[in-house]
Structure 1
Amino acid sequence: MILSIVSYGHDVLRQKCIEVEQHDPELEALITNMWETLYGADGCGLAAPQVNVPVRVFLVDSKLTYESMAEEDREYFYDGDTGIHETFINARIAEYSEDTWIDEEGCLSIPAIARDVERPWSITIEYVDRQFQPQRKTFSGITARMIQHEYDHIEGILYLDYLTPRQKSLLKDKLRKISEGEITAEYPMKFTK
């Protein structure tokens, strides 16, 4: 089932999310619906608070990004990396690299806006997967960026928080229009008004 994605301005996007239990009866349906919602919105990542559920669950599919890029554009996929299709539950980023890079980011909750954001090049993350198996993995490049973006969502952080005050000021009117439903997307959204 495709779920509505909450828009910028919704309180749930600013909540620090709670951990989920392995035997949560609603977890499997939530994850299945989130994957369907992600693909219905033509996205590469989605966090549970974006579908109005404040739990520590997010999805990343950098495999589709890799497959859709021309070979010469794959420079931010490190040697041997062809992307991931992964569910992250109760994640915690354990390490960030000192090396950083800047690339453009957008967000399904903030349609029609994309801005450059500086992030660490690589991260090490601990989480449980969809089968609740403990994982500790290191990711770099685009995949690491996608994970950091979605991880921020479960911490109540938006990529806009990394912009300068001037950059944020220039977006003020557009963000108001998004929160009020004046700027929409081609997927179901839930607006604050």
Structure 2
Amino acid sequence: MAILPILETPDARLRQISKPVEVFDDALKTLIADMYETMYDAPGIGLAAIQVGVPQRILVIDLQEPDPEDEEGKRILRTPRTFINPVFSDPSEEMNAYSEGCLSVPEQFADVIRPAEITVDWQDEDGNPHRERMTGLMATCIQHEMDHLEGILFIDHLSKLKRDMVLKKLSKMRRAG
């Protein structure tokens, strides 16, 4: 496994539309393992393949919830989930606002409004089909990551003024080193 470099805005590759995965082989499984290692190292809770320069419709997500049985609150439960060729449908009319961040827009956060629930169809790393109704943080996270597959960043959901403010803060942070 390897930690891969994460593309950051304004890298034009982040604006590519990702292609469907057609071959489910060992190379795909290696890429997915590398994506998890990269995401955990960053650290983050989701990563799209395009964020590591691979324009394929692959997402890895792990919300990494605290273990409710850990009285000191230090142990984290990892529940990695891989989504290949995801498609969503039936968004709820109810919307949620969540302060989103992105590994490709480091250390910047802004409220984004998205459907509170969404149905997702996808394939696993063996090509098996799945369908699930997503809610809460998982619904927000998968919509955020699926945006990457279409060349969309979370800042694209913001007003021009807010987007410019986020980009200005990011530029200032980069100059400061």
Match for residue 85 of structure 1 among 57, 80, 84 = 80
Unaligned runs of 5+ residues in structure 2 are 69-76
Q: Distance in 1 between matches of 2:147 and 2:158?
A: 14
2:102 counterpart residue number = 107
TM-score by length of 2: 0.87
Deviations 1:69-128 (A, max 9, x none): 9xxxxxxxxxxxx99521000111122111001110000011121011101100001110
Distance verdict in 2 for CA 1:167–1:68, change over 3 Å: farther
TM-score by length of 1: 0.80
Please list, as runs of the form range in 1=range in 2, the aligned pairs for 1:51-90 lying within 5 A after superposition. 51-62=52-63, 64=64, 66-67=65-66, 84-90=79-85
Q: Distance in 1 between matches of 2:29 and 2:113?
A: 34
Give the length in aligned residue pairs. 168
One-letter code aligned to 1:13: L
- Tell me which of the two structures has the higher relative contact order, counting C-alpha pairs closer than 8 angstroms and 6 or more residues apart: 1
1:152 counterpart residue number = 147
1:189 counterpart residue number = none
2:72 counterpart residue number = none
One-letter code aligned to 2:149: I
Please list, as runs of the form range in 1=range in 2, the aligned pairs for 1:164-175 lying within 5 A after superposition. 164-175=159-170
Deviations 1:142-188 (A, max 9, x none): 1110111111111111100110111122234234457xx5477xxxx
Q: Distance in 1 between matches of 2:176 and 2:25?
A: 35
Distance verdict in 2 for CA 1:101–1:23, change over 3 Å: closer
Report the secondary structure of 2:90's partner residue. strand
Unaligned runs of 5+ residues in structure 1 are 70-81, 185-193
Q: % of aligned pairs identical? A: 39
One-letter code aligned to 1:106: G
Report the secondary structure of 2:22's partner residue. coil
One-letter code aligned to 1:109: S
Distance verdict in 2 for CA 1:83–1:101, change over 3 Å: farther
Question: Is it true that 1:94 corresponds to 2:93 in the alignment?
Answer: no
One-letter code aligned to 2:160: P
